[in-house]
């Protein structure tokens, strides 16, 4: 039961993270277009700056829970990594309840007021004469908070499983860091060299 709840939340955040990852492609195309028309045609756009911060903001907000589901956030683990899994899980549980959930709850509550007000007035950017709508970005703030809350629940359940079983449950993986790929390649090459 616990594992299925964790998997469901992980898959939800994977879907959202993958969908918003397309912001990178759109952002790259938009910035490339702006550079071309600005420096080659000497005809800059009035919307490129707004496009870049809206897309980057959306990407940042909506991929945070996905990154957490993969254990991808940066952590200072000079001591943590040497602890036994049960000690790690105890510390994580403590930190989730002292820092994480209060912060995420504040994000949801404040973000809802901020986003709702922006939506109500159909807020547009003051950075350009075009008036690019920015209320959709502000409405993503409470949505990101909800996704982070759900992922926090999944992480707490992971901690409880670790406390019960003495080892961390396996995380879903869909992307492997280049460093890990190189280590795997090096290890497999060494193994082939030994068996040859």
Question: Domain for residue 150, yes or no?
Answer: yes
Question: Domain for residue 185, yes or no?
Answer: no
Q: Does residue 133 register a pLDDT over 80?
A: yes
* 139-143, 156-160, 164-168, 178-182: segment of lowest average pLDDT: 178-182
Question: Domain for residue 133, yes or no?
Answer: yes
- Closest by CA to 145, choosing from 103, 99, 116, 96, is 103
SS3 letters across the chain: CHHHHHHHHHHHHHHHHHHHHHHHHHHHHHHHHHHHHHHCCCCCCCCHHHHHHHHHHHHHHHCHHHHHHCCCCCCCCCCHHHCCHHHHHHHHHHHHHHHHHHHHHHHHHHHHHHHHHHHHCCCECCCCCCCCECHHHHHHHHHHHHHHHHHHHHHHHHHHHHHHHCCCCCCCCCCCCHHHHHHHHHHHHHHHHHHC
Q: Regarding predicted confidence, which is higher, 128 or 185?
A: 185
d(CA 114, CA 142): 9
Question: Domain for residue 18, yes or no?
Answer: yes
Question: Domain for residue 179, yes or no?
Answer: no
Question: Domain for residue 20, yes or no?
Answer: yes
Query: Under a CB-based contact definition with an 8 Å cutoff, are residues 186 and 101 in contact?
Result: no
Portion of the chain with pLDDT greater than 90, in percent = 66
Residue found by looking up tokens 């589901």 in the block: 69
Portion of the chain with pLDDT greater than 70, in percent = 98
Question: Domain for residue 25, yes or no?
Answer: yes
pLDDT digits (tens, 9 = 90+) for 51-110: 898 999 999 999 999 999 988 787 777 888 888 999 999 999 999 999 999 999 999 999
List 133's β-bridge partners, or say none.
124
Q: How many domains are contained in the chain?
A: 1
pLDDT at 85: 92
d(CA 151, CA 114): 22
pLDDT at 194: 67
- Parent domain of 9: 2-72+82-172
* 7-21, 42-56, 109-123, 179-193: segment of lowest average pLDDT: 179-193
Question: Domain for residue 61, yes or no?
Answer: yes
């Amino acid at each position: 039961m616990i594992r299925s709840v964790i998997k469901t939340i992980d898959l939800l955040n994977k879907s959202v993270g993958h969908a918003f990852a397309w912001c990178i492609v759109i952002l790259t195309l938009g910035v490339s277009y702006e550079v071309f028309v600005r420096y080659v045609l000497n005809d800059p756009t009035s919307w490129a700056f707004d496009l870049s911060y809206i897309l980057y903001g959306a990407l940042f907000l909506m991929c945070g829970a996905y990154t957490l589901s993969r254990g991808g956030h940066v952590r200072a683990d000079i001591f943590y990594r040497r602890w036994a899994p049960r000690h790690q899980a105890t510390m994580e549980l403590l930190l989730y309840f002292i820092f994480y959930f209060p912060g995420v709850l504040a994000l949801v509550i404040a973000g809802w007021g901020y986003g709702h007000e922006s939506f109500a007035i159909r807020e547009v950017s003051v950075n350009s004469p075009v008036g690019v709508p920015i209320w959709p970005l502000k409405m993503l703030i409470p949505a990101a908070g909800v996704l982070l809350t759900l992922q926090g629940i999944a992480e707490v359940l992971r901690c409880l499983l670790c406390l019960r079983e003495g080892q961390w449950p396996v995380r879903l993986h869909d992307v492997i860091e280049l460093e890990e790929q190189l280590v795997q390649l090096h290890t497999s090459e060494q193994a082939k060299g030994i068996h040859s």
